[in-house]
Amino acid sequence: MASTLTSCGTGGSETVTISLVAADYGDSAANSSQRYWDELVQAFEVRHRGIKVDVKVYDWTQVDRKVAELVARDEAPDLAQIGAYADYANAGKLYRADEVLSISAQAAFIPSIERAGEVRRALYGLPFASSARLLFYNKDLFEAAGVDGPPSDWDELKKAATKLKAHGVKYPYALPLGPEEAPAETMLWMLSGGGGYADTNGTYVIDSEQNVKTFEWLRDELVGAGLTGPGAPGRTNRQQVFDAFARGEVGMLNGHPTLMKQATQGGVRYGTAPLPGVDGTSKATMGVADWMMAFRQNGKGEQIGTFLDFVYRDDNVIDFTGQYDLLPVTSTVSEAMREDPNYKRLWQFLDQLEFAEFYPASKPSWAAVSKDVKAKIGAVVSAGGDPAGVLSELQRHADELEVASRANR
């Protein structure tokens, strides 16, 4: 993965190769993100003959670990498009946005998402793609089971799931707390119970009373009642239940915009609704931003900047987000989508994004905390699980990581 410098052979000039490790947003080989990047790189290299771009794409269960391994071997890629950035920024390994992006590209980011990419008020995590979450439900299964409509609170959710189970639905409510989706599903339930990972001051509150009650309810009222389908939630991944939804086997689940296309291709007649909360519609939903970051190690800031300005052109942003039913991270593309009826399916998610809460991604400790959640949260909802004990353990480790990250600044 190390960057290379090779002779171009034209007038004695040199060609600089920059490397990018990126996440895969596709659900099959046919729509793998590798194809998107290959086409974009080909168009870029035609315009910039002195720069080559080598892109490697990994699925979401691997990509963060792949980048971490490369960095640990002092073989950092020039660019990485993954789920967390702050630990690398805190260690001084990243370029700031103003060192690699043009002023116009910097100014285009949606302010609320841009703020989530800042460490000590400097932008290091360049927003790349975003999404919001809604409750997806199978209309045919609801009608067959006698469920009138989507639930607005937890009690209604349990009643609907009970009817779906009685009707023989394989996954009345799909709960993916496996390593692919655990931090997101966890945050969705925390928010719906009035809690979250952090308070308004950015302090971790993982073991708050609200969060403990939320997971006690999940353990006893959904998982313990056999309403989440076969297999333990801690070993159930997001793509697994998305595939099951597209096969008509899931009554309800939390989903992001990419599920719409997959469900339509599967012939599923689905609906979407705001997330149900503990005592009514959830007062907050989760917004997710994925990040592009530029590593200093190989000293290729100029070439990185040239490529990133191309990546963030409006036509390329709308091509990527439209292809994967994601939400844009730039104001100009967001406005364009709102005015284009071809993107009407995304308007409800754009509306949710305005009020969404994001991971505490600007905290250097977040990457490690997220990894902890992936490893441990599934046990909380299993038979005999101890929400208070596990959440307290997560809280203690998060606090320790936060103290250590401040010491390493």
DSSP 260: H
Cα angle vertex 373, ends 369, 374, to 5°?
120
The count of domains in the chain is 2
Q: How many CB atoms lie within 10 A of CB 5?
A: 10
- Strands 14-23 and 79-82 turn out to be parallel
Distances 396 to 28, 42, 169, 215 between C-alpha atoms, Å:
39, 48, 39, 18
User: Residue with structure tokens 């998610």?
Assistant: 349
Same domain, residue pair 317 and 279: no
- Give pLDDT, residue 201: 86
Same domain, residue pair 123 and 55: yes
Same domain, residue pair 82 and 170: no
Same domain, residue pair 80 and 106: yes
Same domain, residue pair 84 and 201: no
- Give pLDDT, residue 146: 98
* pTM for this predicted structure: 0.80
For every residue of 30-97, DSSP letters joined together read: GG-HHHHHHHHHHHHHHH-TTEEEEEEEE-TTTHHHHHHHHHHTT---SEEEES--HHHHHTT-B--H
Same domain, residue pair 255 and 372: yes
Same domain, residue pair 249 and 373: yes
Same domain, residue pair 72 and 44: yes
- Give pLDDT, residue 11: 38
Same domain, residue pair 252 and 327: no
Same domain, residue pair 317 and 345: yes
Q: For the chain, give the longest Cα–Cα distance.
A: 74
What are the pLDDT tens digits along the chain (409 aa)? 333 333 333 334 689 999 999 999 887 788 899 999 999 999 999 999 999 999 999 998 899 999 999 999 999 999 999 988 988 998 999 999 999 999 999 999 988 889 889 988 899 999 999 989 999 999 999 999 999 999 999 999 999 999 999 999 999 999 999 988 899 999 999 999 999 999 988 899 999 999 999 999 999 999 999 999 999 999 999 999 999 999 999 999 999 988 998 999 999 999 999 999 999 988 888 888 999 999 999 999 999 999 999 999 999 999 999 888 889 999 999 999 999 999 998 998 988 877 788 899 888 888 889 999 999 999 999 999 999 999 999 999 999 998 887 766 6
List, in sequence order, the alpha helices (H) in 101-252: 103-107, 111-115, 139-145, 154-166, 182-192, 209-217, 238-246
Domain hosting residue 187, numbered range: 135-284+365-407
CA-CA distance, 145 to 169, in Å (whole number)? 9
Identity of the amino acid at 258: T
Q: Say how many CA atoms lie within 13 Å of 103 toward its Cβ.
A: 0
Same domain, residue pair 72 and 182: no
Same domain, residue pair 177 and 196: yes
Of 132, 282, 150, 288, nearest to 214 by C-alpha is: 282
CATH number, domain of 174, equals 3.40.190.10
Return the SS3 of 209: helix
Q: Which residues contact 219 (CB under 8 A, 6 or more apart)?
A: 380, 381, 382, 385, 387
